[in-house]
C-alpha cells in the first residue's frame, strides 16, 4: 500500500468539478496538491485555502493552460522547483464543444483534441524524466464512457477520450519497468455543473440506461482516484469504469 502523506500530486483542471473533488480527497489525506487552472484563479485559490486548512498546508495553485505544450512543461517545472519531485500526475483538464459532424468546424475539432487529449501527452512528456529518475510514479488519465461507446454530437470529445485509453495502455507498457503505473478512469454521467444544465427529458432517457438509476457523484470518482494511487500498485494499463452499470464489458 502506498501513502498520500506528503505525496506531491499535480491535478490539471482542478479548480472545479471532478478536479476540485479529487483535490479535496487527496489534499485532506495529506498530499501536497498542485491545483492547475486556466482562468478560474479565484476558485483555485479558494480551493488551495481550504486544502491548507484541512491537511495539505503546502497546497499551491499554478496557472497553466496545458493544451499549450510550453505551459504544460512549465506546470511540471514549477512543481519540481517547489517540491523537488512529483509522485502523482492526474490528467483531468477537458472541455467539450458539442456539434454534429455536419456542423463541427475544424477549429471545434482541434480545440477539443488539443485540450482533452494532446494536453495529457504534454504533461506526461514533461513529467517523465522525473518519474524515470525516481523510478516511481502514478499517472491517472481521466477518460469517459463517451470514449468507450461514443456520444451523438460529440465526435471530437469521444475521439479524444478514446485516444486517452490507447495512450494510457501504451504508456503503461513502456513505463512498467520503471515502476510507473498508468491507468485510465472512465466515468459515466456525473452530477457536475455540466450535468445540471442537461434538459430533464434527456436526463430521464439517460437514467433508463443506467441499472443503478442515478448519476454518480464527484466524490465517488475522487475515491476511485484515491484507490488507484493508494491501493492500485498492481494495476497498470487498466480502464476503471464508473458508470452505474451502463456499460458492462
Which residues have a catalytic role annotated?
A: 157
Q: Quick check: helix, strand or coil at residue 97?
A: coil
- CA dihedral 241→141→23→94, nearest 10 degrees, is -100
Sheet containing strand 32-37, strands side by side: 60-63, 32-37, 8-11, 88-91, 137-142, 180-187, 239-242
How far apart CA 89 and CA 195 sit, in angstroms, is 26
The 3-state DSSP class for residue 137 equals strand
In this structure, are residues 35 and 14 in contact, taking their beta carbons and an 8 Å threshold?
Answer: yes
**Contact status, residue 226 vs residue 29, Cβ threshold 8 Å:** yes
Q: Where are the alpha helices (DSSP H) in the chain?
A: 17-27, 41-54, 69-83, 106-113, 119-134, 146-149, 155-175, 193-196, 200-207, 218-230
Query: Helix crossing, 41-54 with 17-27: angle to 10°?
Result: 20
Contact 25, 223 (CB under 8 A): yes
106, burial (CB in 10 Å: exposed 0-12, middle 13-18, buried 19+): exposed
Amino acid at each position: 500500500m502506498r501513502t498520500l502523506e506528503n505525496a506531491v500530486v499535480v491535478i490539471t483542471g482542478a479548480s472545479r468539478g471532478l478536479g476540485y473533488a479529487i483535490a479535496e480527497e487527496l489534499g485532506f489525506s495529506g498530499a501536497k496538491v498542485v491545483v492547475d487552472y486556466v482562468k478560474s484563479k479565484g476558485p483555485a485559490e479558494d480551493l488551495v485555502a481550504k486544502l491548507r486548512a484541512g491537511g495539505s498546508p503546502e497546497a499551491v495553485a499554478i496557472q497553466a493552460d496545458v493544451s499549450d505544450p510550453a505551459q504544460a512543461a512549465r506546470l511540471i517545472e514549477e512543481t519540481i522547483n517547489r517540491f523537488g519531485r512529483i509522485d502523482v500526475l492526474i490528467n483531468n483538464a477537458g472541455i467539450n464543444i458539442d456539434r454534429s459532424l455536419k456542423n463541427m468546424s475544424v477549429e471545434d475539432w482541434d480545440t477539443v483534441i488539443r485540450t482533452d487529449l494532446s494536453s495529457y501527452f504534454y504533461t506526461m512528456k514533461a513529467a517523465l524524466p522525473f518519474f524515470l529518475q525516481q523510478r516511481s510514479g502514478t499517472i491517472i488519465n481521466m477518460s469517459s464512457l463517451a470514449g468507450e461507446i461514443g456520444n451523438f454530437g460529440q465526435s471530437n470529445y469521444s475521439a479524444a477520450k478514446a485516444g486517452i485509453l490507447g495512450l494510457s495502455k501504451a504508456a503503461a507498457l513502456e513505463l512498467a519497468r520503471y515502476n510507473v503505473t498508468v491507468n485510465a478512469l472512465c466515468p459515466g454521467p456525473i452530477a457536475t455543473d455540466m450535468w445540471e444544465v442537461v434538459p430533464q427529458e434527456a436526463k430521464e432517457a439517460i437514467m433508463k440506461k443506467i441499472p443503478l438509476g442515478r448519476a454518480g457523484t464527484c466524490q465517488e470518482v475522487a475515491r476511485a482516484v484515491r484507490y488507484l494511487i493508494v491501493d492500485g500498485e498492481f494495476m497498470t494499463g487498466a480502464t476503471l469504469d464508473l458508470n452505474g452499470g451502463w456499460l458492462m464489458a
